[in-house]
């Protein structure tokens, strides 16, 4: 029997729990050359800012063990082009749009949220907090719970009531669970965990940073246990708050691991670069795993790792 | 999804062989072979299923044949553990291949005279291009450069396909000592060239594009830029390119290229974000100037 794959994230129901992660799926157009994007639970679009942005110079990425370190610098067309061209296209292909927003201060985030109503086809706003805080000596909003909360409060205040706001948190904040609590208190309807961790690679010949941006973000399967740990601890502390789990999801089994740790949905990120069909493959693998275990509804495995031995679903 | 877009396949290796200083792998991939147009590339997963090397390796397609329903060949030099793993593949091993990727070389409608300029193994895509041009009745002349004799690429096939083939090496160990651009003016004059096609290292392409501009010849160049995905997602392979509207954008070599018009690529600014590029610090000031003509299509992607 086919398990019921539907999942809920705050008020939003997704057809299945497999999403494409922001910054790793473009605006859906690139992946649509490989599969029907309407099959995914949702697509989180690349973080959009108010104005066009050229980003950082190349080199922007370097391969690291089971992952990569990258520093793109939020290159993008700005909200106007996104609303005129990218979002309508994604909707026309039946994609569910989670729109990731990035700003240099709470005002920019709020202005973006105001321009992203449900009527434009926005299913959810995801607040990318791993952006340099222009008023905070370049530290990311995600580093300081009070700063993250200021941004989330501004977005929640500006966004339409029916549009859930999720805060996307980095795993290398001093205490990600504290940060999660601060965001929820500020009005976040849910959490996306985790964004990449700061790291770098040094060019072995020049002995200079391999990326033009110096320090970048580490992503890919290398960070998965860290991400699973963050989801697990957050679920423990905030059991009612829906979480989208992400960080190196490569297989259906990885997706199941995040669900068991407490995520209601999972997003596939860097692995899309390695395997453009990854999202639909992971969805199929997850469905097969749930079938094998005799699980009726995907929701039944969410948080399974928190239940006592013997309460494990299926098998 | 679409009939001419890229596909992802598990393709059996047909042959692995040495070509001069390079390795060549031919895989059976009918869907890629049938969609291929010269200038396009493919990407290969390396290290096997449980590899810690996550990123695909991009390679220009060097040859396409109808055998076994369709085969494609790509060339590479061993530069690290990924390409070393590839060099160890044997017949019947399966490779995870995505292709064809990128925008191909535009082909002239009429039978014109074409000079094809290549550097090192970067010359690989010029061979299927030469065949395509010949099929259209174009005259083809080659200028191939390399650091030394063993890096000159496929000299014999170049001579076979082209009207003339000129070789240059930095050390003079084969052909003329010097750079491809040293030979370009003479070859284009002798061939009464109408167009220049080039691929190879970025610095060489910059010199070829400048030389072609001086000779008032249109140039189509295929750039080599480090890529993580090859499918337009990761934004790693950006190059500053001037659009039709005169605005510079950070264009993705993998989907907006790898073929660009030579005069459009800001070669001197490769590896930087030009101050006036769309979305760069100097862009807004410039576009807000009174009298600036219209707003550009505001796309930095």
Cβ contact (<8 Å) for B234 and A57?
A: no
- Do the domain assignments include residue A40? yes
Q: A68 CB near a chain B CB, below 8 Å?
A: yes
Instruction: Give pLDDT, residue B4.
Output: 76
Nearest-angstrom CA–CA distance, A117 and A305: 36
pLDDT tens digits, A69-83: 999 999 999 999 999
pLDDT tens digits, A86-136: 999 999 999 999 999 999 999 999 999 999 999 999 999 999 998 876 666
Mean pLDDT estimate for chain B: 91
Q: Looking at A24, A131, A183, A230, which residue is catalytic?
A: A131
pLDDT at B301 over 50: no
Within 8 A by CB and 6+ apart from B99, the residues are B6, B7, B29, B32, B35, B36, B40, B41, B42, B43, B61, B72
Give how many domains chain A has, as a whole number. 1
CATH of the domain at A18: 3.20.20.70
Instruction: Give pLDDT, residue B291.
Output: 44
pLDDT tens digits, A140-177: 888 899 999 999 999 999 999 999 999 999 999 889 99
Residue B32 near residue B171 (C-beta atoms within 8 A) = no
The answer to whether the annotation marks B271 as part of a ligand binding site is: no
Please tell me which of the candidates B98, B226, B299 has its beta carbon nearest to residue A276.
Answer: B98
pLDDT tens digits, B100-152: 999 999 999 999 999 999 998 889 999 999 999 999 999 999 999 988 877 77
Q: Which CATH superfamily is domain B7-101 in?
A: Translation factors (2.40.30.10)
Q: Which CATH class is domain B113-269?
A: alpha beta
Nearest-angstrom CA–CA distance, B195 and B107: 10
Nearest-angstrom CA–CA distance, B245 and B44: 36
* β-bridge partners, A42: A19
Q: Give me the domain span that covers residue A69.
A: 7-304
Tell me the percentage of chain B whose pLDDT exceeds 70: 93
Nearest-angstrom CA–CA distance, B175 and B104: 30
Q: A249 CB near a chain B CB, below 8 Å?
A: no
> Domain locations in chain B?
7-101, 113-269
pLDDT tens digits, B204-217: 999 999 999 999 99
For residue B71, what pLDDT band results from cuts at 50, 70 and 90? very high
Residue of B49, B235, B272, B285 to mutate, interface with A, max A Cβ within 10 Å: B235
Q: Of all helices (H) and strands (E), which one includes residue B99?
A: strand B94-101
Q: Of all helices (H) and strands (E), which one includes residue B185?
A: helix B180-190
Nearest-angstrom CA–CA distance, B62 and B24: 9
Residue of B nearest to A274 (CA): B55
Q: Peptide bond preceding A194: is omega within 30 degrees of 0, i.e. cis?
A: yes
Residue of B nearest to A74 (CA): B235
The answer to whether the annotation marks B82 as part of a ligand binding site is: yes
Residue of A nearest to B298 (CA): A77
Cβ contact (<8 Å) for A24 and B233?
A: yes
Nearest-angstrom CA–CA distance, B299 and B301: 5
A200 Cα to chain B: minimum distance (Å):
15
Nearest-angstrom CA–CA distance, A201 and A65: 11
pLDDT at B297 over 60: no
Residue A86 near residue A22 (C-beta atoms within 8 A) = no
The answer to whether the annotation marks B237 as part of a ligand binding site is: yes
Mean pLDDT value of segment A28-57: 96
A45 Cα to chain B: minimum distance (Å):
11
In the numeric block, which tokens belong to residue A120? Answer: 């434009």
Instruction: Give pLDDT, residue A313.
Output: 62
Instruction: Give pLDDT, residue B286.
Output: 54
CB hemisphere CA count around B247 (13 angstroms): 24
Mean pLDDT value of segment A206-217: 94
pLDDT tens digits, B80-101: 999 999 999 999 999 999 999 9
Mean pLDDT value of segment A204-215: 94
Give yes or no: A279 in active site: no
pLDDT at B182 over 60: yes
Nearest-angstrom CA–CA distance, B20 and B62: 14
Q: Check: pTM over 0.90? Answer yes or no.
A: yes
Q: A77 CB near a chain B CB, below 8 Å?
A: yes
- Do the domain assignments include residue A2? no
3-state secondary structure chain A: CCCECCEEECCEEECCCEEECCCCCCCCCCHHHCCCHHHCCEEEEEEECCCCECCCCCCCEEEECCEEEECCCCCECCHHHHHHHHHHHHHHCCCCEEEEECCCCHHHHHHHHHCCCHHHCEEEEEEECCCECCCCCCCEHHHCHHHHHHHHHHHHHHCCCCCCEEEEEECCCCCHHHHHHHHHHCCCCEEEEEECEEECCECCCCCCECCCCCCEEEECHHHHHHHHHHHHHHHHHCCCCCEEEECCCCCHHHHHHHHHHCCCEEEECCHHHHCCCHHHHHHHHHHHHHHHCCCCEHHHHCCHHHCCCCCCCCC
């Amino acid at each position: 029997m086919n398990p019921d794959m539907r999942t809920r994230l705050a008020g939003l129901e997704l057809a299945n729990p497999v999403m494409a992660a922001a910054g790793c799926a473009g605006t859906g157009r690139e992946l649509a050359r490989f599969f029907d994007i309407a099959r995914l639970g949702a697509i989180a679009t690349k973080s959009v800012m108010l104005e066009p942005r050229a980003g950082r110079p190349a080199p922007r990425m370097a391969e690291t063990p089971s992952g990569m370190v990258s520093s793109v610098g939020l290159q993008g067309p700005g909200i106007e082009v996104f609303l005129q061209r990218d979002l309508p296209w994604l909707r026309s292909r039946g994609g569910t749009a989670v729109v990731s927003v990035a700003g240099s201060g709470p005002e920019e985030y709020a202005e973006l949220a105001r321009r992203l109503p449900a009527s434009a086809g926005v299913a959810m706003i995801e607040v990318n907090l791993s952006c340099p805080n222009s008023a905070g000596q370049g530290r990311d909003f995600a580093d300081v719970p009070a700063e993250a909360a200021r941004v989330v409060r501004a977005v929640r205040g500006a966004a339409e009531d029916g549009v859930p706001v999720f805060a996307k948190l980095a795993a290398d904040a001093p205490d990600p669970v504290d940060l999660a609590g601060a965001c929820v208190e500020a009005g976040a309807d849910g959490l996306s965990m985790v964004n990449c961790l700061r790291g770098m690679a040094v060019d072995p010949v020049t002995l200079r940073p391999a990326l033009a941006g110096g320090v970048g973000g580490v992503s890919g399967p290398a960070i998965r246990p860290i991400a699973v740990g963050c989801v697990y601890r957050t679920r423990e502390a905030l059991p009612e708050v829906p979480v989208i789990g992400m960080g190196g999801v490569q297989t259906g089994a990885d997706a199941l691991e995040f669900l068991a740790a407490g995520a209601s949905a999972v997003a596939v990120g860097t692995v899309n670069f390695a395997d453009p069909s990854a999202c639909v493959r992971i969805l199929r693998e997850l469905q097969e795993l749930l079938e094998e275990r005799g699980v009726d509804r995907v929701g039944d495995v969410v948080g399974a790792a928190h239940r006592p031995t013997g309460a494990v679903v299926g098998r | 999804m679409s009939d001419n877009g890229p596909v992802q396949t598990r393709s059996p290796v047909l042959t692995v062989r040495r070509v001069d200083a390079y390795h060549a792998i031919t895989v059976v991939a009918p869907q890629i072979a049938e969609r291929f147009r010269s200038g396009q590339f493919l990407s290969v997963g390396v290290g096997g299923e449980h590899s810690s090397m996550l990123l695909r390796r991009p390679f220009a397609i060097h040859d396409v044949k109808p055998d076994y329903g369709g085969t494609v060949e790509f060339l590479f030099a061993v530069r690290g553990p990924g390409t070393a793993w590839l060099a160890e593949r044997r017949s019947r091993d399966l490779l995870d291949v995505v292709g064809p990727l990128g925008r191909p070389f535009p082909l002239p409608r009429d039978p014109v005279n074409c000079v094809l300029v290549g550097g090192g193994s970067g010359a690989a895509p010029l061979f299927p291009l030469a065949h395509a041009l010949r099929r259209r009745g174009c005259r083809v002349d080659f200028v191939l450069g390399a650091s030394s004799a063993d890096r000159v690429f496929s000299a014999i096939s170049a001579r076979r396909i082209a009207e003339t083939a000129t070789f240059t090496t930095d050390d003079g160990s084969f052909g003329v000592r010097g750079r491809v651009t040293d030979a370009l003016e003479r070859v284009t004059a002798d061939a009464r060239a109408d167009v220049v096609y080039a691929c190879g290292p970025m610095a060489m392409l910059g010199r070829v594009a400048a030389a072609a501009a001086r000779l008032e010849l249109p140039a189509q160049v295929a750039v080599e830029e480090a890529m993580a995905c090859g499918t337009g997602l990761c934004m790693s392979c950006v190059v500053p390119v001037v659009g039709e509207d005169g605005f510079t954008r950070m264009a993705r070599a993998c989907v907006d290229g790898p073929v660009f018009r030579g005069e459009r690529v800001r070669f001197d600014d490769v590896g930087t974000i030009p101050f006036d590029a769309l979305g760069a610090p100097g862009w807004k000031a410039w576009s807000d100037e009174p009298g600036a003509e219209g707003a550009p299509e505001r796309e930095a992607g």
